[in-house]
Amino acid sequence: MKTQAAVAVAPETDLEFRELTLDEPRPDELRIKMVASGVCHTDAIIRDQWYPVPQPVVLGHEGAGVVEQIGSAVSGFEVGDKVVLGPSFCGSCQQCLSGHPMYCETFYDHNFGAQREDGSTAFSSESGQSVGSHFFGQSSFAEYTNVPAQGAVKVPQDAPLELLGPLGCGIMTGAGAVLNVLRPKPGSSIVIFGTGAVGMAGMLAARAAGATTIIMVDIVAERLDFAEELGATHTVNSKEVDPVEAVKKITGGGAEYALDTTGVPPVFSQMTKSLGVQGHGALVGAAKLGTEAPFDIGTLLVSGITISMVIEGDAVPKEFIPRLIALHQNGELPFDKLTKSYPFAEINKAFADSAAGTTLKPIVVF
Ligand code: NAD
Ligand code: ZN
């Protein structure tokens, strides 16, 4: 069939709208009619080739849509089911089997390979050139796409699909790093660096978990004001004050938990130094391959801190996304306040507004 798609063709260049041919879903796949897709910072850095993903390629990895067609080997789905799409994983390696599919040993190939395991792509151009698909098991910047059924998460028929796509990456990443990895105790303190969609999702999750000192650090005053509105107990503008000193003062020695959503090396160092004795910090912010950050092994040895590198919130999406939806329905995870909708035709504006920091979480609606 034919489908309209936004295609990444070159670094730092607008996505191009093209009519592509979508092939037939494989036995283990679903064809999805996309309803909406979040735009994640990761889409922008892949368009810009921070990680080598072959172009032209259809990006997008926060898709939500409706099952249109079902591969012959798929069970558990019916045509018309509403789904939120998550990352792809093999399901059979040691990490997948032990409940950590976001650390699948072939995660990179599955999510950044832009093709199926057999080397085929789902999309091709009018001239017959293959166009990369299966980005994060989705390539959701297309009206129709084929996805591995394993990564699709069925959601209730009354679920607001136009809102839920970001649960598949950005919101899952921030909330999962907090709820699945850091696991703050009720009454505890946490500092979060970066008040983008990922940091804000972490903040809302920390609040839902009962953390009572929630410090948000950023260099953009408006974002800090918004963080306060949404439940931060303290904000620190690290352009104006030393965030390590500020966090130590607020917490009386250092935070129990910390999250770096920036991927900026000096910020990572600040995070390690903001932790109290035996504190637990996590990095989710992405940096170019080869990026190193200073880490004071002399001073920090005696502090006994733990640092985790966290992918996609270490979630099992089929288990975690329904929990996030339940928290949202309950009013405890109001991530809808982070989002702004754009027609699919304005996807490049959505990218630009995200880069400019004026929109936290753009969602393109088909
Ligand atoms: P974003 O750009 O909206 O937010 C980043 C925030 O960091 C911004 O508010 C920015 O002002 C702030 N910031 C930048 N430099 C800073 C500094 N020096 N000090 C303090 N704050 C600073 O991005 P996002 O959508 O929230 O995503 C955050 C990061 O997470 C991105 O790098 C993204 O690629 C990554 N990510 C990782 C995973 C994962 O699995 N680990 C998944 C999704 C996204
Ligand atoms: Zn993402």
Q: Do residue 214 and residue 361 come from a single domain?
A: no
CA of residue 307 to ligand 2 center, whole Å: 21
- Residue 209 within a domain: yes
What is the rounded average pLDDT of the residues 134-147? 97
Three-state DSSP at 315 gives coil
- Residue 146 within a domain: yes
pLDDT score for 52: 86
User: CATH number, domain at 271?
Assistant: 3.40.50.720
pLDDT score for 17: 97
Q: Which residues fall within 8 angstroms of residue 323, CB to CB, at 6 or more apart?
A: none
- The number of distinct structural domains making up the chain is 2
Q: Do residue 139 and residue 8 come from a single domain?
A: yes
Pocket test residue of 225, 262, 270, 359 for ligand 1, highest count of atoms within 8 A of CB: 262
Q: Do residue 139 and residue 206 come from a single domain?
A: no
pLDDT score for 71: 98
Q: How confident is the model at residue 83 (pLDDT cuts 50, 70, 90)?
A: very high
Q: How confident is the model at residue 44 (pLDDT cuts 50, 70, 90)?
A: very high
pLDDT averaged over every residue in the chain? 96
Residue with CA at minimum distance from ligand 1 atom 39: 311
Residue with CA at minimum distance from ligand 1 atom 35: 285
Calpha distance 327→262 (Å, rounded): 25
Q: Which residues fall within 8 angstroms of residue 83, CB to CB, at 6 or more apart?
A: 30, 32, 64, 65, 66, 67, 77, 152, 153, 154, 155
- Burial of 247 from C-beta contacts in 10 A (0-12 / 13-18 / 19+): buried
CA of residue 285 to ligand 1 center, whole Å: 5
Q: Do residue 155 and residue 181 come from a single domain?
A: no
Q: Do residue 130 and residue 194 come from a single domain?
A: no
Q: Do residue 187 and residue 206 come from a single domain?
A: yes
Q: Do residue 359 and residue 219 come from a single domain?
A: no
Instruction: Tell me the residue range of the domain where 35 lies.
Output: 2-168+335-365
Nearest ligand 1 atom to the CA of 40 is 25
Q: Do residue 187 and residue 150 come from a single domain?
A: no
- Residue 330 within a domain: no
pLDDT score for 357: 87
pLDDT in tens, 106-132: 999 999 999 999 999 999 999 999 999
- Burial of 216 from C-beta contacts in 10 A (0-12 / 13-18 / 19+): buried
Name the amino acid, one letter, at 196: G
Q: Is the pLDDT of residue 224 over 90?
A: yes
Q: Do residue 141 and residue 215 come from a single domain?
A: no
pLDDT score for 209: 97
Q: Do residue 142 and residue 33 come from a single domain?
A: yes
pLDDT score for 51: 86
Calpha distance 116→110 (Å, rounded): 8
Residue 234 pairs with which residues in a beta bridge? 215
Q: Is the pLDDT of residue 19 over 90?
A: yes
- Residue 328 within a domain: no
Q: Do residue 12 and residue 144 come from a single domain?
A: yes
- Residue 303 within a domain: yes
Tokens of 95: 């990490």
Q: Nearest ligand to the C-alpha of residue 274?
A: 1
Cβ atoms of 313 and 175 within 8 Å: the answer is: yes
pLDDT in tens, 165-208: 999 999 999 999 999 999 999 999 999 999 999 999 999 999 99
Q: State phi, psi for 165 to the nearest 5 degrees.
A: -50, -45
Q: Do residue 138 and residue 252 come from a single domain?
A: no
CA of residue 93 to ligand 1 center, whole Å: 30
pLDDT score for 221: 95
Surrounding residues of ion ligand 2, Cβ less than 5 A: 40, 42, 169
What are the distances in angstroms from CA 317 to CA 111, 324, 331, 338?
Answer: 15, 10, 21, 21
> How many Cβ atoms are within 10 Å of 97's Cβ, its own excluded?
11
Cβ atoms of 352 and 11 within 8 Å: the answer is: no
Pocket test residue of 172, 181, 198, 222 for ligand 1, highest count of atoms within 8 A of CB: 198
Which residues form ligand 1's pocket by a CB distance below 6 Å? 40-42, 45, 169-170, 173, 193-199, 217-220, 223, 238, 261-264, 267, 284-286, 310-312
User: CATH number, domain at 23?
Assistant: 3.90.180.10
pLDDT in tens, 253-311: 999 999 999 999 999 999 999 999 999 999 999 998 899 999 999 999 999 999 999 99
Nearest ligand 1 atom to the CA of 199 is 26
